[in-house]
Amino acid sequence: MLKRFASTLVLGVGTATLLTACSSEPFDTASQIGADPVLPAPEQPLLPDLKVAEVVGWQDGETPTVPEGLVVTAYAQDLANPRTVHTLPNGDILVVQSKAPPGKPVERPKDIIRDFIMSIASGGGGGEPPPETNLITLLRDTNRDGTIDERFDLCVT
């Protein structure tokens, strides 16, 4: 019985490998360049490739590496899920911070998976309570030195 199962398993894996190899067509990637590129046909695999970037904040005293002569500084901190940033004509900056409303019923199995992936992408699990969300935050640099002097959180209900 075990021998028959092993034979069936090997035959199934071998057939799947051959079918996969037979279905792939050679594709010239140079044809993807230009005004009218030829693109490969779209695919819809059962489990799509998915890579979620890990949320990594700056440690104290740490900044990204930039070319000589340039400087990077954090303009705003403690923002929860910043979605949209808009600069006003007077130089003030509006930041929309939002999450999906709680209590939404799960309609499909993929919603559970999406919510799990989004929890990873939003950097949850740091041990600290998440900052308040569903806000529009006004950031104002009154003396134009690159440091926020005034911050106003406007609640959105």
pLDDT at 1: 52
The predicted model scores a pTM of 0.50
Question: What is the rounded CA–CA span in Å between residue 53 and residue 120?
Answer: 9
Residue 126 structure tokens: 């740091």
Burial, 40: exposed, middle or buried (Cβ in 10 Å; 0-12, 13-18, 19+)?
exposed
Element (H, E) at 21: helix 2-23
Q: Average pLDDT of the chain? A: 76
Flag the least confident range among 30-39, 74-83, 113-122, 140-149.
Answer: 113-122
The DSSP secondary structure of 29-79, one letter per residue, reads GGGGSSSS---PPP---SS-----PPP-PPPTT------TT--------S-
> Higher pLDDT residue, 120 or 141?
141
Flag the least confident range among 16-30, 80-94, 133-147.
Answer: 16-30
pLDDT at 60: 81
Question: What is the rounded CA–CA span in Å between residue 58 and residue 64?
Answer: 8
Report the SS3 class of residue 94. Answer: strand
Question: What is the rounded CA–CA span in Å between residue 25 and residue 14?
Answer: 19
pLDDT band at 139 (very low <50, low <70, confident <90, very high): very high
| pLDDT tens digits along 3-45 | 554 455 545 555 555 555 554 567 677 888 888 888 878 888 8
pLDDT at 89: 94
Q: Residue 82: which residues within 8 A CB-CB, separation 6 or more? A: 95, 96, 97
Say if residue 56's pLDDT is above 90.
no
Question: What is the rounded CA–CA span in Å between residue 98 and residue 95?
Answer: 10
